[in-house]
Chain A
Amino acid sequence: MKGLLVLSLLFCMCAMYFVGIYLFVGGFLLVRLEVNRTSTCGDVLQPGEEPVDFCRVQPRFRRAVLLIIDALKIDFARFDPSNTSPRPYENKLPVLEETASSRPSHSRLYPFRADPPTTTMQRIKGFTTGSLPTFVDVGNNFASSAILEDNLIHQFGQVGKRVVFMGDDTWESLFPKKFHRSLPFPSFNVKDLHTVDNGILQHLYTTSDDWDVLVAHFLGVDHCGHRFGPDHPAMADKLTQMDGVIRSVIDRLQNDTLLVVMGDHGMTDTGDHGGESQKETDAAIFLYSPAPLFPGPPSQSEPDVVPQTDLVPTLALLLGVPIPYSSVGQVLLPLFPPLGQTKGAVGELSQLEALWINAKQVNRFLETYSGMAKDIPPESLSQLKDEFAHLSSEYLTTVRDGRPPSPELAVSLQAYLSSVRDTCRATWARFNPFKMAAGLAILAICLLNVENSPGLKAPVVVALTAGLCVAAGQLLTQGYIEVAWCLAAAALSSELLLLWTACRSRTTAVAKNGFKAAKCTSWLTLRRLLIPSLMVLLIRCACLLSDSYVIAEGRVVTFLMFSLALYIPIHLNWDGLLLPPSHDPLKSAGLLPSPALSPSTVRKESSTLLTCLGLLIGSLYLSLSFHGCREEQGSCQPSPFLSPLSRLQDSQLKNLHYILSVSSLGLWTYLLKRCLRHYGNLNSSGGTVFTARWILPLLAVCLGLHWAVSATPEDSFRNLAELISLAQLALPRAAFCLLGLGLFLIWLDPLTVFVKTRAAASARGSSLPPPRYRASTGISPQAELHHLIPQIYQRMRRSLDDGELSGSSDVDSRPAVEAYGLGTVYSAPLLLFCGLLGIGLLLLHPEGMALSFLLLLLEMGALMHIHASSTTLSGGFNVPWTPIVLWSLAATQFFHATGHLPTFPSIQWGAAFVGFPEGHTGTVLPASLVTLNTFASHILFAVGCPLLLFWPLVCEVRGSRGGRACGEEGEDAVMEMRLRENPQHFSAALLQLSTRYLFIHGAQVFASVCAAAILRRHLMVWKVFAPKLMFEASGFLVSSVSLLIGVTLVLRVDVAVGRWFKRIIPDASR
Chain B
Amino acid sequence: MSWSGFKKSVNRAGTTLLQKTGQIERTVDREFVEEEAKYKTFEKECQALQKDSKGYWDAMRAMTAAQTRIAETLEVFYGAADRTSEGAMAGHAYKRSVDDLDAGFGRELDGPYRTTISEPLGKMCAYFPVVNEHVSKRNKKLLDYDSARSKLRKLIDKPSEDPTKLPRAQQEHDEAKEVFDMLNDQLIAELPQLLDLRVPYFDPSFEAMIRMQSKFAEEGYEKLSGVQRYFADNVRDDYAAGQLDAQVEEVLQEMRQLSICGGN
Does A pair with B?
no
